[in-house]
Amino acid sequence: MAEIKRGITLFSLGSLYLRGEMNLEDLIRESAAMGFEGYEIVASQMIPSYPFVSDEFVEFTKKCQEKYGIGPVCYAAQMDRGMLRDRDLTEDEMVARGIQDIISANKLGCKVMREQYLLSPGGLARLAPYAEAYDVRVGIEIHNPESPITQAVLDYVAAIEKSGSRYIGFIPDFGCFATKPNKPYWDRALQDGATEEQLERCAQLRYDEVLMDQAFAAMKDDIEKCPALAGALNSMYGFVQFRKDCRRELEGLVRIMPYCFEMHGKFHYMYEDLHEASIPYEEIMEVINHSDFKGYIVTEFEGGEEPLVQCRRHSDMLKKLIRQ
């Protein structure tokens, strides 16, 4: 039986924060007002003492919890494997970073930590004893173009199962179940002179699983006349890919569900009628409702305008779809 809570990653409201229109406390207050029960924090974005968590920051989050009723539930870490010019970080160096992040997550009171795929399956397994010692579950984010059935993710499954630890696993991002083109990119291309007909041809190439080079070749004449099409087509082969249906990916989700500590409720555009433009939430939630998933679905807005309106709609949609 699923036990699902609704959370939000404050990254969703990041544009307001970065423009100085809202401070961290404002974001927490607004999140509570939207009905979220906890928040995820991108540590390198909003924790001034990152990669450490200062006593002052802990105190601040506790005060906010008293005032608004919600606190941090997930520490979103990053793995900057490519931070040096001449070489990648070694696995030892990355594991050391991961351990520091676990300690910081624990200090902040988070029971879950988001880790990135740049840490190898072997590196993740090495974090398990530290995750257990600090009582922080470390989940690799499964982000489009990866999905629960791609080889990279299956390699993590093997490492997790071999470790026997319940403290390493996944945070699937719903973007990997997309069945339609990303609406913000589509709209931007329209604004920049592309036509619906041209974009539909691009989308069809993606649906037909035409290879990227061939798709660009097929659209060459159109791209020459309208360079904005290149960006839209590129995105369809990048981090916002989509396919006709996500049945197999959802079957994969069922298989890895025992290792899922949190879900990223990724979205790019919510219509007023509480439907997401390209990600089939109804189908996804059907699977999760019927699973034993226990944890937060964390609203993650990665679109453009009106983040507060968009996140409110997303929260309302989840409320409607969660059955437990």
Residues in contact with other proteins by the rule CB under 8 A: 14, 18-20, 42, 44-45, 47-51, 78-85, 89, 116, 118
Would you give the end-to-end CA distance of the chain in angstroms?
Answer: 7
Question: Which pair of tokens denotes residue 214?
Answer: 């061939």
In this complex, which beta carbon is closest to other proteins, that of residue 16 or of residue 308? 16
Nearest-approach distance from CB 302 to other proteins, in angstroms: 11
CB distance 321 to 37 below 8 Å? no
Strand partners, 112: 74, 137
Q: Which is nearer to other proteins, 25 or 37 (CB)?
A: 25
Looking at the Cβ atoms of 198 and 302, the one nearer to other proteins is: 302
Question: Exposure string (b/e) for 165-191, b if CB count within 10 Å is 16 or more?
Answer: bebbbbbbbbbbbbbbbbbbbbbbbee
CA distance 225 to 271: 31
| DSSP 8-state class, residue 192 | T
Nearer to other proteins by C-beta: 47 or 270? Answer: 47
Task: Report the half-sphere exposure of 225 (CA within 13 A, side-chain side).
Answer: 7
Tell me how far, at minimum, the Cβ of 308 lies from other proteins, in Å.
Answer: 19
CB of 165 to other proteins, least distance (A): 25
| One-character DSSP codes across 16-52 | HHHTTSS-HHHHHHHHHHTT-S-EEEEHHHH-TTTTS
CB of 294 to other proteins, least distance (A): 30
Residues 6+ apart with CB under 8 A from 29: 64, 67, 68
Separation CA 27–CA 19 (nearest Å): 13
Beta carbon of residue 289, minimum distance to other proteins (angstroms, whole number): 32
Residue 51 or 109: the one with the smaller Cβ distance to other proteins is 51
Closest distance of CB 290 from other proteins, Å: 33
**Minimal distance, residue 123 CB to other proteins, in Å:** 14
R_g of the chain, CA atoms, integer Å: 20
What does DSSP assign to residue 176? G
Closer CB to other proteins, 88 or 208, in the complex: 88
Q: Between 142 and 257, whose beta carbon lies closer to other proteins?
A: 142
